[in-house]
Chains A and B, each alone.
Chain A
């Protein structure tokens, strides 16, 4: 056996191999992710900073942003509660068909938003399956707020659940048992023992859900109608601004939406790291 140079794969060592790989990755990420973002920012500022500021102050934009926010918060509230419960049931319970139940939860993640909007239209539209019921209550779903709310709820379904499952799995059941042997009722056990362990995951799930909800486009387009002030979310605003040749307004709104989403996720990430380390 010829003597080979012994190389230990420790971090930080230099050779042409690793350098090339790092360079390749930077190049890839730069071209794929950074370049388009830079182009967007560049075009938003193409007419100068004052135009950018004026675009920021457009009332319709903030109206649509408020609507997106409103819907996202509502969705988050429901997902936080019902999503957590579903995650709990998946981890702690066993019942026939559980693996299918588990898979069903992932469906919204992969379904095209257009299909989502269409499904809701089939169910709640004027000729819809559930329309007779809605007509009784004079409650409009399609082309109104409830419709886009439901659509957003659907597409963000998996995020909270998938975040909660691993954390619930890792809970120390000994503590729960100890609490119950000490006489704690179920609610006390939950609130004092279980919940603190879930807090961070819940927060991260909230952040992901919010980001996803605010960025929804396809489903809202089909079921919403895009009526300014009523069903025009930020994404619809951007879409319409592009149509009206208001490019600076569109790109500015896109940047705000992007930054907002990134901020939310970064915040949650930060919290998660702080509590973990």
Chain B
């Protein structure tokens, strides 16, 4: 669509400077300024102090816990999301429409409610929680598995919904050709289907990772929040905010923002390579 009459293009541009200015102002006020404020606050006492706050054992542990639970969740989400998308697109079975609708549910449920639900279901007072705890020695709530579970719930739609449209648009000719040439189903999947889905799976997973790193509402209910054991970075920041530890709050917040930003930029870059400039 680049072959537009030059006159029309020029005409389109000048009045729209107002639009551009508006959108710039909007994003500036809403995103850039608050970020600048927090950056300034975190480095107020110098880069050395900033780094010290980040490498404090309790903070470092919180960050690491956040990262590995999010990463584990992302891997599980990638696999199950891909599977779910595949099943929804390629197969017909009773209850398919309901399944499709359920996939979107986590998006509509407030994170606080997610945390509450998980405690109700897996908490130690319930039969299920008691069984897991005593029989299997496996603690779900108030331990990292609970965190992973909460994150899985919240980010479930992301991978599925990123893969679905791509899968729907996939030209099945190649698969048919491969089948006629004698390829088995698994080979077809591995060699033809999956490579086409690799990118959306990856970008959907990265999106869910970025989302998970900052998650608070569900985690604070479900995690236990014990420093050095089950306290994530977001919860640590809350503690720092509420105990007047501004430097810690700002420093860790900046780290969280940096991680999310890095992941988002990378994802956009990947998608950009595929689709061309937005």
Contacts and interface: CB of A to CB of B under 8 A. Distances in A.
Asked whether any CB of A lies within 8 Å of a CB of B in the complex, the reply is: yes
B10 interface: no
B217 A113 contact: yes
A119 B37 contact: yes
Interface in B6-48: 8, 11-13, 15-16, 19-20, 22-24, 26-27, 30-35, 37-38, 41
Given A32-B153, A34-B102, A40-B117, A9 B176 contact: yes
A37 B4 CA distance: 52
B168 interface: no
B216 A218 contact: yes
Interface in B150-167: 152-153, 156
B179 A7 contact: yes
Interface in A48-83: 82
B95 interface: yes
B264 interface: yes
Which interface residue of B5, B84, B110, B268 has the most chain A CB atoms within 10 A?
B110
Interface residues of A, number: 94
B276 to A, nearest CB: 11
Interface string B250-276: 100100110011011100100010000
Given A40-B113, A103-B265, A118-B38, 19 more contacts: A12-B92, A21-B91, A25-B87, A36-B117, A36-B153, A39-B117, A82-B23, A85-B22, A95-B20, A103-B268, A107-B261, A109-B264, A112-B215, A112-B233, A113-B216, A123-B33, A123-B34, A157-B30, A218-B220
Interface string A209-230: 0010011111000100000000
Main secondary structure of the interface of B (DSSP, over half): helix
Contacts of B90: 9, 11
B118 A25 contact: no
A165 interface: yes
A117 B217 CA distance: 13
Given A7-B179, A215-B109, A217-B112, A89 B31 contact: no
B188 A40 contact: no
B278 A218 contact: no
Interface in A227-264: 235, 238-239, 242, 250-251, 254, 257-258, 261-262, 264
Contacts of B80: 25, 28
Nearest to B278: A102
29 contacts: A6-B180, A7-B185, A12-B91, A28-B80, A33-B153, A82-B26, A90-B23, A99-B277, A106-B268, A107-B260, A112-B215, A113-B216, A118-B253, A119-B253, A122-B41, A123-B34, A154-B34, A177-B4, A180-B11, A211-B107, A211-B108, A215-B112, A218-B111, A218-B234, A251-B120, A258-B113, A262-B108, A262-B109, A265-B104
A269 B214 CA distance: 27
B112 A239 contact: yes
A128 to B, nearest CB: 8
B172 interface: yes
A115 B253 contact: yes
A22 B265 CA distance: 35
A-B pairs, 4 with minimum CB distance? A215-B110, A112-B214, A110-B260, A36-B117
Contacts of A193: none
Interface in B162-218: 172, 175-176, 179-180, 182, 184-185, 188, 210-211, 213-217
A33 B30 contact: no
Nearest to B153: A32
A158 to B, nearest CB: 10
Nearest to B212: A110
B37 A235 contact: no
Interface of B: 1, 4-5, 8, 11-13, 15-16, 19-20, 22-24, 26-27, 30-35, 37-38, 41, 80, 83-84, 86-87, 90-93, 95, 99, 101-114, 116-118, 120-121, 126, 149, 152-153, 156, 172, 175-176, 179-180, 182, 184-185, 188, 210-211, 213-217, 220, 233-235, 237-238, 241, 249-250, 253, 256-257, 260-261, 263-265, 268, 272, 277-278
A275 interface: no
Interface in A113-153: 113-123, 129, 153
A235 to B, nearest CB: 5
Interface in A259-277: 261-262, 264-266, 269
Given A39-B117, A115-B38, A157-B30, A22 B93 contact: yes
A82 B25 CA distance: 10
B20 A257 contact: no
